[in-house]
Structure 1
Amino acid sequence: MYKYREVYTDIKNNILTNHYRAGSLMPTQEELAEKYSISRLTLRKVLQMLGDEGLVYSKQGAGTFVRPRMADSPDEILPLNSPIGVTYSHRSQEISSKVLHFDARLPTPLEQKNLNIEANEPVYEIKRVRYLNGKHYSFEHTIMPTRIAPLDEKILHKSIYDYLGSKNIMMTDARRVVYAEAADAETSQAMGVDLNCPMLVIEQTAYDQKGRAFEYSVSQFIKDHSKFVFDVHRQWY
């Protein structure tokens, strides 16, 4: 991976995980260039990429700032254009999980395609309900190649992304498809809703800092319990 890409990924993760807080002044270009052992020219390229994504902005003579995001409401889910999970989008609230299924098996053709893996590569299959402040929040069906990192049920009761981060696996990009779907019998029982109740669905393929697909998941949300946010930033040249 090119050095600028590594630096971009690290700074972006620091912003998304609130290490660099929204609205705050970032370290100076001299400090960042020294920290990452890169030239000012390379750093400016990194800051330009972050600026194009709407994550930072510069003020002449003042420095580079983390761009404030729209105010969150208690029932709002993660922004659709940010590669972070519910633990980060609801840092001040109580998040818990109930594991319904955890096993390893061979992937289906669809999972092979989305994860770019062979038919004989084993994957974890995870089904769990996420709770926000004690209330049903989402029903997650996750597929992950077993080679990514060893998992156990204890890990699944917490944030999988936090655990992967401890293994230096960072989610930096994701492809998300959003649609509506009627709750089937499994979803109905897991989420405590009526059969055929309308559900909001996010189908996601997640990529790490090396560009590898490491997760394919389908998450379902009760229609009147969730809100979606998408910030649009126009690039000017």
Structure 2
Amino acid sequence: MEGFEDFTDERAADPLTRLKQLNQLEGVRRSEDAEQAKKDEAQAKRQLTFPRRIWRSAAEVDPAQPSQYLALAADEQHDFLFLPKAGAQKLFVFFSGYADRSKVQPPVFQRWTWAEKFPGHCVYFSDPALMGSGNLTTSYYTGSRQTDSLKVIAQFVRDLAERLGILPENIVTYGSSAGGMASLRIAQHLRGAAHIAINPQTHLAAHRQEKVNRVARERFGEDSLSPAAR
């Protein structure tokens, strides 16, 4: 971190001095975290002003028109934001992580402002479980006993890629935390694509149980993950 040395090579001999140094470093980290939280909250408050459309088929998609789509599939509402880029030969697929329901309401398209920085079309999928619940902060895109949400989303991606003339090997999925898990897990339904995951959950049984069990109750009708996952 700029302004601070690596304490592993050169440490103060006095324990009290070392403690003061560590407290300084922790103070800077907390300040940076608070500043980032403010930025995240400001971004969440930004209004999406793109046209809202009903997704009937990919054939109706205008490859040059940014749009927010609503689709009904497998008895569930799916919301996604399409931000095209002229002449692009790649499609980047984004998944969202934790959504603080006191600050944002679904659909949630985290990192949508990043689109201009990516060398391709971008499409952002909200976790469909959020639309049907006021309590869930994420469902990890699990779906339910009847439907795997990522299997449905993968079909949307394939249809959109075909409409845009994007080859499967030029599709890249991206997400962090719960979105990172989705980015990895969709690989079983989206063959040929590349997948990027930042600090993903890979074993829900070992994750925060209050969150995971809430998903189990609301999405699977069970009290805990184990029976829901069977």
Taking structure 1 as the reference length, the TM-score comes to: 0.26
The higher-RCO structure (CA 8 Å, 6+ apart) is 1
Q: Which has the larger radius of gyration?
A: 2
**Which has a greater percent of strand?**
1
**Which has a greater percent of helix?**
2
